[in-house]
Structure 1
Amino acid sequence: MRITVLGGLGAWPTAEQSCSGFLVEHAGFRLLVDPGYATVQPLLARIPAAQVDAVYVSHGHPDHCADLQPLLRARVLADRAGPPLPVYAPAGALDRLLAVDEPGLVDGAYRLAALVPGEAFDLGPFRVDTWSLPHWVPNVGARFTGRDAVLAYTGDTGSSPDLVELARDADLLIAEATYPVEIPDRHVDNLSSAAEVGRYAAEAGARRVLLTHLWPGTDPAEAVAAARRGYAGPVDVAVPGLVLPVGR
């Protein structure tokens, strides 16, 4: 399995970096996870739109899904006879996004599948296990199990005992870490810190951690240091172009 970081910021993109988004490649299958703001351009610099095999959206906030819309345009306007793109998302999460275009333009470009937290399903070469994790809107964390690798992904989440199970013995945990240590009162219970990620990654026995969704302007070194206070394994921050091999 190979993970390519398209972006790693939360809330909004900057001139230097996109919001969170990841290209997950395994056994010839290309899965796009959370195509947030400004992720489609770095994606298309690597593969054509038609070569994305499926999309997984953890929740409906635009910093995790906005660039699905230009991706669909890039597919359907280039080839109206192309196959629909399977898109997995919580029920209703993408309704407003998919309604911004002229009626009918991208209707044939996608096929929606509603995520039901707690259910498992097959997606290409992956078995996907899902959890409902606390956020302002429905957020579905996922564990993608391939032939010889396990990727755990939180989406955005507040503290939850389910995070340990999600990350259990994962080869790579991609975890939201908006703040290094202190979470403002307005975001408590809905977002995480790098320090929290380090603690539950250690309890879960995750083999490697990738911190994502940092608030724009956050010092990546500060986030890494916070995670390492509770976790002894490798810790990286999601930056555009980072490629990580995953598995044994």
Structure 2
Amino acid sequence: MHVVVLGGRGAWPSAGQGCAGLLVEYRGFRLLIDPGYATLQPLLARLPASAVDAVYVSHDHPDHCADLQPLLRARVLRDRSVPALPVYAPTGSLGPLLAIDEPGLLDAAYHLHGFNPGDAFDIGPFAVRTWSLPHWVPNAGARFSVAGTTLAYTGDTGPSPMLVELARDADLLIADATYVDEIPDEHVGFLSSAAEVGRYAGTARVGAVLLTHLWPGTDPEAAIAATRQAYAGPVSVARPGVVVDLPG
């Protein structure tokens, strides 16, 4: 399993980095996870829009899905014979985004597979299991497993006992670490800290941790240090171009 970080900012992109975005490849199958703001350009620097085989969206906040719309434009306006792109997202979550273009323009560009957080299904070679995790809107954290290798991804989440179950023995956990330690009152229960990621990653015995969704201004090195207070394995921060090769 080959994991490429397209972006890792939370809320809005910075001058040099887009928001959430991951490209996961296995034996030629390319799965795009959470195409947030400003992730399409680094994706297109690696491969044409037509080469994406499927998209998974954890929830409908634009820092996790906004660049799906220009991705679909890049596919259908260049070549209308390109097959419809399978898009997996919580039921009803993408209606407003997909409605911003002129009526009918993108209809042939995608095939929407709605699901309820908690469902399990396959995307190409990946067995996907999802969890409903606390956020302001329905958010589906997920495990993507293939050939004995597992990537766990939280999307955006507050504290939940389900996080240990989601992360259990994963080869790589990509986790919301919006803040280093203290979470502002208005975000308590809906977003996570790097310190909290370290606690449940240690309990879940994950192989490695990649911190994502850092709020602009959050110090990456401080976030790594906070995670290491309770987790002894490898820790890094999602930055554009970071590549992780997992066994299997």
Moved over 6 A (4+): none
TM-superposed CA distance for 1:120, in Å, is 1.1
- SS of 2:152's partner is strand
Determine helix, strand or coil for the equivalent of 1:8. Answer: strand
Q: What does residue range 57-72 of structure 1 map to in structure 2 within 5 Å?
A: 57-72=57-72
Q: CA deviation at 1:15?
A: 0.9
- The equivalent residue for 1:91 is 91
Secondary structure, aligned partner of 1:181: coil
Which residue of the partner structure matches residue 224 of structure 1? 224
Q: 1:81: how far off?
A: 1.5
CA distance in structure 2 between the aligned counterparts of 1:121 and 1:138, rounded to whole angstroms: 18
Partner of 1:193 in structure 2? 193
Contact 2:5–2:22, Cα closer than 8 Å, also in 1: yes
Q: For structure 1, list consecutive stretches of 5 or more residues without a partner in the other structure.
A: none
Residue in 1 that maps onto 2:245: 245
Deviation at 1:194, TM superposition (A): 0.3
TM-score normalized by structure 2? Answer: 0.99
Aligned to 2:176: 176
Give a deviation string over 1:79-132, Cα, whole Å, max 9, x none.
111110000001111111001101111111001011222221111111001100
Give the whole-Å Cα distance in 2 for the aligned partners of 1:37 and 1:117.
Answer: 23
Contact 1:115 1:140 in 2 (8 A): no
Q: Which letter does structure 1 place at the counterpart of 2:195?
A: A
Aligned to 2:33: 33
- Please name the residue that 1:103 is paired with: 103
Aligned-partner SS, 1:75: helix
**In structure 2, distance between residues paired with 1:6 and 1:117:** 24
**Aligned-pair CA distance for 1:152:** 0.2
Residue 236 (structure 2) aligns with: 236
| Distance of 1:193 and 1:218 partners within structure 2 | 10
What letter corresponds to residue 93 of structure 2 in structure 1? A
How do 1:110-129 residues align onto structure 2 when only pairs under 5 Å count? 110-129=110-129
The Cα RMSD (Å) is: 0.7
* Percent of aligned pairs with the same amino acid: 71
Residue identity in the other structure for 1:60: D
1-structure distance, mates of 2:102, 2:118: 35
- TM-score in terms of structure 1 length: 0.99
The number of equivalent residue pairs is 248
Q: Which residue of 2 aligns with 1:133?
A: 133
| Matched letter for residue 21 of structure 1 | G
Tell me the SS of whatever aligns to 2:198.
Answer: helix
Amino acid at match of 2:98: L
Matches within 5 A, 1:16-55: 16-55=16-55
Q: Deviations over 1:210-248 (max 9, x none)?
A: 000000111100000000001000000000000011125
Q: CA deviation at 1:148?
A: 3.1
1:169 alignment partner AA: D
Which amino acid counterpart does residue 123 of structure 1 have in structure 2?
I
Q: Distance in 1 between matches of 2:231 and 2:207?
A: 10
Structure 2 unaligned regions, length at least 5: none
Q: Give the conservation status (yes or no) of the 8 Å contact 2:118–2:140.
A: no
